[in-house]
Amino acid sequence: MSNRLTELLGIRYPIIQGPLAYVSSPELPAAVSNAGGLGIIAVPPRPRSRDWPRSYLDQIRKIRRMTNKPFGVSIPLDAKVHPEIARIAIEERVPIVHTSVGDPRAYTQRSKAAGMKVLHTAFCVRHALVAEAAGVDAVIASGVDGGGMLSSMGLTTMALVPQVVDAVKIPVIAGGGIADARGIAACFALGAEGVVMGTRFMATQECPVHPRVKEAIVKAKDTDTAVVGRAAAGISLRALKSPFVETALELMQTMDKEKMANFLHGGGQIYRGLIEGDMENNPALCGLSCGLISDIPEAAQVIERLVEEFAKVVMGMPKSL
């Protein structure tokens, strides 16, 4: 599975753990990196607390004690705390930076000047071209099949990835709805050189997501997620169906943008849903791939299984049409 992306990032397998919002414990990204993939630390839990910069710095230093492999940090450019996250990441010389939901020029040159590699998430071809022009090292083509915050573009992974591959010269990473080796093989067939997996790594032993959420992912079927909010207003997300989601769907037509944003994630709802497991009153983010997940193994077992099954999938492909 060696290719341009693995050489660029210094990893063994082109499998990246998605930057899970508020799931910032070092245990999961360290386990993914140790297993040959790329682990990413996401937005700090409870970023509103005054001591979160110190806590975030401690997490970066802790993951360095847990792995000598490359790892990354995610900087959501729409978050109020992104300047502080970027400052800490750059000062600590984190190997890889992932930016999203904003102008890729914000930290690309500063990060690269510090010797860091930069990944950026794109929701359409135009986003990917802007990111390439900004100097990012690789772009993540993210479809609406994934969980969490969604793009107003509405492009699925299958439709988006090959168009981005055709448009840029840098490596393309596919994201959204991928949870097994068949998905990886499909994305490689589309021209991607790596994949991002969020929901699959949520259902692992090392992930700090509440056991109730993990069990719900394992039990979920293909139709057990819903999109709430209004994508055109930039405030939609995909989550497991629940009483909270049902209420959100009912309120979608009457709430204005600001009220809907506050209802969905303005007061720590995502943290309470994912970490505290209160899915009745908060969203539990989850992608369409939940129907492919049937267990809660260690992260290393996930990667080992993906690599083994990928070889079988590729060997079973027809040599010619």
* pLDDT tens per residue, range 30-74: 999 999 999 999 876 555 566 777 888 888 999 999 999 999 999
SS (H, E, C) 154-189: CCCHHHHHHHHHHHCCCCEEEECCCCCHHHHHHHHH
Closest CA to 193 of 137, 133, 134, 148: 137
Tell me: pLDDT of 265 over 80: no
pTM value is 0.92
Beta strand 237-240 with 148-149 is antiparallel
Number of domains in the chain: 2
> Is 230 or 176 the better-scoring residue by pLDDT?
176
Which region among 17-21, 25-29, 166-170 has the lowest average model confidence (pLDDT)? 17-21
307-318 pLDDT tens trace: 999 999 988 877
Provide the pLDDT confidence category of residue 256 given band limits of 50, 70 and 90.
low
Task: Give the model's pLDDT for residue 35.
Answer: 98
**Statement to judge: residues 9 and 73 lie in one domain:** yes
Task: Give the model's pLDDT for residue 101.
Answer: 85
CATH number of the domain enclosing 302: 3.20.20.70
Closest CA to 265 of 230, 223, 237: 237
**Statement to judge: residues 166 and 261 lie in one domain:** no
The whole-chain average pLDDT of the chain stands at 89
Asked, for residue 164, whether it belongs to a domain, the answer is: yes
| Residues forming beta bridges with residue 122, ordered by sequence position | 141
**Statement to judge: residues 149 and 269 lie in one domain:** no
Give the distance, in angstroms, between the CA of residue 165 and the centroid of all CA atoms in the same chain: 19
Give the 3-state secondary structure of residue 300: helix
Asked, for residue 321, whether it belongs to a domain, the answer is: no
Side-chain-facing half-sphere of 198: CA atoms under 13 Å: 29
Which region among 17-26, 163-172, 227-236, 277-286 has the lowest average model confidence (pLDDT)? 227-236
Contacts of 162 (CB under 8 A, 6+ apart): 190, 191
Task: Give the model's pLDDT for residue 188.
Answer: 97
Give the 3-state secondary structure of residue 131: helix
Query: What value, to the nearest 5°, has the Cα angle with vertex 238 and ends 235 and 239?
Result: 120
Closest CA to 3 of 12, 116, 138: 12
74-83 pLDDT tens trace: 988 877 778 8
Q: Order of strands, edge to edge, in the sheet holding 225-228? A: 148-149, 237-240, 225-228
**Statement to judge: residues 92 and 173 lie in one domain:** yes
Radius of gyration (Cα) for the chain, nearest Å? Answer: 18
Token pair 């490359």 is found at 70
Asked, for residue 100, whether it belongs to a domain, the answer is: yes
179-195 pLDDT tens trace: 999 999 999 999 999 99
Host domain of residue 269: 211-288
**Statement to judge: residues 26 and 154 lie in one domain:** yes
Give the distance, in angstroms, between the CA of residue 61 and the centroid of all CA atoms in the same chain: 21
**Statement to judge: residues 33 and 57 lie in one domain:** yes
Tell me: pLDDT of 232 over 60: no
**Statement to judge: residues 185 and 232 lie in one domain:** no
Which region among 19-23, 123-127, 138-142, 242-246 has the lowest average model confidence (pLDDT)? 19-23
Q: How far apart (Å, rounded) are the C-alpha atoms in residues 185 and 310? A: 7
Helix (H) or strand (E) holding 99: strand 96-100
Q: How far apart (Å, rounded) are the C-alpha atoms in residues 261 and 283? A: 12
84-140 pLDDT tens trace: 888 888 999 999 999 988 889 888 999 999 999 999 999 999 999 999 999 999 999
Task: Give the model's pLDDT for residue 99.
Answer: 93
Task: Give the model's pLDDT for residue 47.
Answer: 53
Task: Give the model's pLDDT for residue 231.
Answer: 56
Query: What value, to the nearest 5°, has the Cα angle with vertex 167 and ends 161 and 171?
Result: 65
To the nearest whole percent, how much of the chain has pLDDT over 90? 62
Q: How far apart (Å, rounded) are the C-alpha atoms in residues 277 and 181? A: 29
Q: How far apart (Å, rounded) are the C-alpha atoms in residues 301 and 266? A: 35
The answer to whether 3 and 193 have CB atoms below 8 angstroms apart is yes
